[in-house]
Amino acid sequence: MGEQTRLRTHSSDSLARGVVTGYPVAPYGVWLSTVLKCPTCGAESSPLSTVFRCVSCSEPLDVAQQLPPVSRALFDGRLGSLDAPWNSGVWRFKEMVYPGLPEDGIVSRPEGNTPLYRSASVREYTGVADVALKHEGLNPTGSFKDRGMTVAASQAVQAGARAVVCASTGNTSASVAAYAAIRGLPAIILVPEGATALGKLGQALAYGATTVLVRGNFDDAMSLVQEAAGELGLYLLNSLNPFRVEGQKSIMFELLQQYRWDPPDWIVFPAGNLGNTSAFGKALVQARDAGLIDRVPRLLAVQATGASPFAAAYRAGFAGMEPMRPETVATAIRIGDPVSYHRAIKSIEATDGVVIDVDDDAILDAKAVVDAAGIGAEPASCATVAGLRQAVARGLVAPTARVTGILTGHLLKDPGTTIAYHEGRYGGGRTNPPVTIDPDLLSLSGVVDRASGASR
């Protein structure tokens, strides 16, 4: 690669045209173009733009980029690397995520590299013999959001953002706050008052974000930040930002690599604002087109019944989506008007996917099983396991299928719901309430007798 090519980053004339930004990329010696593109009318804009909806059709824009040739060997060769950026489970797949980003522009913790858990009790509960749970709660801030955030936060720096903003049910805000802190960017986060899990709220405060409690639900906060981003010149880090979607694709790439590129039959995950749904389908199609896999697994998106406009739309053949007033114990997915509706449809269609919903009792019951397996996850994550159990019972997923469930957030994100469940406040049948005793051996030995009797 010539020196001239290496030194040129985004040229001012291409930026002025507002259309294309090319970056030199190390091993390829070619210019790779990255644009924001409207999936409906095809209009293109600069990747450094801070506007994420098409100005004419108002559809969320996608990142369209020229992906260089890749191979399984390229990605396998980076496994176990101690060096940035390859030690990140997002940037190991840089060619599939954001090849045009200069390596020194990466803002990373690093993230990803999350495990696949197998458990006899989860197998028995779901009825699927070959089921693994990929625990995205083991990311730096305890949820999958960090995968999208490393990319969008890097892009915020490229775009010269002076401050970043998001609306959130909690996990996005924790991630935004942490990644903004890496670069000392002011972060403003908006969460619904009274409906944000304690762990998430604590993280946003602790990481130093300006935390705004909105009297309204997530959808209200989401409309407000979209208005605010434009009016107040803030860089939006919700999954409406298409660079978030590019980062979240890495959940699929990493999972496929963990399966040694022999894909499972189904991938099951919770769906709220539909960022993951959009990212997963895009990733799987790109992985197939790149020759990394030879077939595309089916997606099973699971919503909470009280916040299930996407599941309802699926049942109606995607004729349209009716927003709803969301209510569910799984506050992470308490969303009634998801922004990525159209791109999520594409993912479901491209993967012969299915969308279902599960009620709160089923979510909490599945959570008690996942938690007691020593895995643990927040309520929304356990919609995955509840959904798989329902899908098997309905004959949608065969007990002999190979299935990966995605657990999206850590158990400690929502201690309030976990404790309330075990104190019996939800009426669930798998409670493990604490026992209070006087400080003497006799009292404790009674407890020990009961505990060991219970385990025999």
Site for ligand F0G, rule CB under 6 A: 143, 145, 168-172, 239, 270-277, 332-333, 378, 380-381, 408-409
CB of 427 to ligand F0G, least distance (A): 23
Who's near 456: CB < 8 A, 6+ residues apart?
Answer: none
CB-facing half-sphere around the CA of 85: CA atoms within 13 A: 20
Of the pair 130, 220, the CB lying nearest ligand F0G is at 220
Nearest-approach distance from CB 110 to ligand F0G, in angstroms: 20
Q: Which is nearer to ligand F0G, 339 or 368 (CB)?
A: 339
Closest by CA to 272, choosing from 394, 349, 357, 197, is 357
Least distance in angstroms from the C-beta of 356 to ligand F0G: 14
Between CA 99 and CA 342 the distance in angstroms is 25
CA atoms within 13 A on the CB side of 375: 32
Kindly give the pairing relationship between strand 187-192 and strand 210-214: parallel
Q: How far apart are the first and last CA of the chain?
A: 68
Residue 382, phi-psi category: left (phi > 0), alpha (psi -120 to 50), beta (remainder):
alpha
Task: Report the residue number, 65 or 276, with the smaller CB distance to ligand F0G.
Answer: 276
Task: Supply 328's token pair.
Answer: 């569910």
CB of 169 to ligand F0G, least distance (A): 4
Nearer to ligand F0G, 171 or 217 (CB): 171
Cβ nearer to ligand F0G, comparing 109 with 413: 413
CB of 435 to ligand F0G, least distance (A): 31
Residue with Cβ nearer ligand F0G (38 or 382): 382
The residue type of 91 is: W
At 17, list the tokens: 């045209």
Q: Please confirm whether the linkage preceding 69 is cis (ω < 30° from 0).
A: no
The residue (of 149 and 368) whose beta carbon lies closer to ligand F0G is 149
Range list of β-strands (E), 28-181: 31-37, 44-45, 62-65, 116-117, 130-135, 164-167
CB of 280 to ligand F0G, least distance (A): 9
User: Closest approach of Cβ 84 to ligand F0G, in Å?
Assistant: 26
